A and B are shown apart, each in its own frame.
Chain A
Amino acid sequence: MVGGTCIKFGDNINTDVIIPGRYLVSIDPVELAEHAFEPLGEDVQTRLRKSQVVVAGYNFGCGSAREQAASCLIGAGIQAVVAKSFARVFFRNSINTGLLAIQCAEAVDAIEDGGEVWIDPQRGIVTSGNRQFAFEPYPENIRRILDAGGLLSYVSKYVLAARR
């Protein structure tokens, strides 16, 4: 079970909003987190750092393929993103960096900005207050990448280990 306080956004949040291009020379999640959501102002940034879950509408993470859009959220202490839908590169980058990306439109509608959200990835349930919403759990091969903490650790743990 992961979760906590959430910060909620609308539809089509693009990668230039999540992490502006000028900070892309860094791959350190903590350094990147200082600039996460910078275009939306300091209030949003302060709230982000106090949140554990990002909630968003349709097509979260659209735009550029930058992996830092996922890793900057990890650096900011975010454990999961619950959205109505994801841009596919963001979804892929989340898995590869070990960030839970959950698609569950009903939950998003029910969750209030600043409220508490809990996610059970094994059972496929999002809990908000006393309401529960089901989502499709990840297929086995994707779940193994996430469980390993991302693609880098997955490859060294399983692929390379199997060759030895």
Chain B
Amino acid sequence: MNLIEKILARASGRKSVSPGDVVVANVDTLLLHDLSGYLTARVFENEVKRPMRYPDRVVMVFDHHFSPPSEERAQMLEENRAFARRHGIHLFDCGSGNIHHVGVRHGFVRPGTIVVGSDSHTPVHGTLGCFAAGLGNNSHAAMVMPFGKAWFRVPETIQIKLYGSQRPGVVPRDVALWLTGQIGEGGAVYKALHFDGTFIKNLDVWDRWLFPLITIDVGGKCGFIEPDEKTIDFVRRITDRHFDVVHSDEGTDYAEVREYDISELEPQVAASPTLGNVKPVCEFVGKPIQWAELGGHGGGRLEDIRQAAEILKGRRIDPRVKFNIVPSSRQVFAEALREGLVDILFEAGCTWFPPSTGSNQAINMGAMADTEAMISTHARNFPGRNGSPKAMMYLGSAYTVAASALNGQITDPRQYLV
């Protein structure tokens, strides 16, 4: 069995499982954000009406609101707080950071565990050797909250082997954007994706993170990276809580193996309407942008902020561009401050926003008029997610975002990296 099958077997009290089996498994962590958590809470209290079985496993993070923009939204957050108090679940209020980063940085994500959440990017936690999948409200309200369980169909697994080394100016996010196009939206529907190969093994944890992150956007159920010393050190530095690392058996079978050499890649950009619309940056050079952002489920890591600072140090962004920096957690902001990055980017004309999930779905920032365009490190570029369905969203690396902000148009960052 591979790691996913072993975790599902153990959590459902079976000796073994095979793809296609439907199992009912114990869940270790449930991650809710301020929007989905509100709905789940209402279904749980109004329809299920049972006690919260394991409140210590349930985590709610206010990440789409770093501060409520309206009375209606303020009321919603107040109801969430009251729900958290009534049931004794963990609450991370406005300003804590993005749901997934908060979950990891507070030790709720540990190797060998099952993590579920109603955010579709929940599979990102496979980075740490978990089985992690996005579910809907009813799954959480009807099974996870009252019983600590959820039903799962055991997926077939595809191995994605990446090898080669990047050209200068090309970063792991470029590889992840490109890989989304290679696998294709819907190219791995219902599958588990094992991200593997020398390229993945050589990355640090926060760069590995960008790969399981794409799982949902190629249709996958979960993605994972085999845990190694880096993974274990990373989690040990965060939490004292016990965990059992699970490894895949030697020589497990895959439904399919796909290999990719990333050595020839150029910086990539994915333009609206979908993530599959990804091309080398040269094909978009010159497209005007008025907004730039490091944020969303994909961005705002310390690595992104360092890249932007590398390009913008001693320079000023185009006066027509608004470049918003959204740290993915409070820890990231503190580290950026210590490294002097806050000052460098402030002097370059950027605006620092509170730790949150940024303008993902434009809940309290980042809406655009139909004539506007943004380049960002977000995870999605679907029309209408940031205001007008006519507004354009381009996704790129933090290097490409920063270089484009300098010029008010999409720019190949490599000219600033020599």
Contact = CB atoms under 8 A, between A and B. Distances in A.
Interface of A: 11-12, 14, 16-17, 20-22, 24-25, 27, 39, 58-59, 62-68, 70, 85-89, 91-93, 96-97, 139, 141-142, 150-152, 154-156, 159
Given A12-B274, A27-B42, A88-B221, A20 B138 contact: no
A92 B136 contact: yes
Interface of B: 22, 35-36, 38-39, 42-43, 47-48, 72, 76, 117-120, 122, 134-139, 141-143, 146-147, 151, 185-186, 189-190, 216-217, 219-221, 274, 276, 361-363, 380, 382-385, 389
B186 A12 contact: yes
Chain B interface secondary structure, helix, strand, loop or mixed? mixed
A21 B135 contact: no
Nearest to A59: B186
Given A39-B384, A65-B36, A65-B119, A85 B137 contact: no
A152 B219 contact: no
A67 B22 contact: no
Contacts of B47: 152
A21 B385 contact: yes
A62 B221 contact: no
A11 B389 CA distance: 18
A151 B143 contact: yes
A117 to B, nearest CB: 22
A27 B217 CA distance: 24
10 contacts: A16-B384, A24-B35, A27-B137, A59-B189, A65-B120, A87-B219, A93-B138, A97-B138, A152-B47, A156-B48
A27 B186 contact: no
Contacts of A155: 48, 142-143, 146
Nearest to A86: B189
Given A20-B384, A39-B389, A88 B143 contact: no
A88 to B, nearest CB: 5
A74 to B, nearest CB: 12
A88 B190 CA distance: 5
Given A11-B186, A12-B274, A63 B382 contact: yes
B120 A63 contact: yes
A74 B389 CA distance: 25
A14 B274 contact: yes
A11 B186 CA distance: 9
A89 B220 CA distance: 9
B76 to A, nearest CB: 7
B39 to A, nearest CB: 5
A5 B134 CA distance: 32
B40 to A, nearest CB: 9
Nearest to A60: B186
B186 to A, nearest CB: 3
The 3 closest A-B pairs by CB, nearest first: A59-B186, A67-B136, A65-B120
Given A59-B185, A87-B186, A150-B138, A21 B22 contact: no
A91 B385 CA distance: 22
Contacts of A21: 35, 361-363, 385
Contact of A151 (B38, B117, B139): B139
Contacts of B363: 21
A88 B135 contact: no
Nearest to A20: B384
Nearest to B387: A22
Contacts of B147: 159
B194 to A, nearest CB: 17
Contacts of A62: 185-186, 217, 219
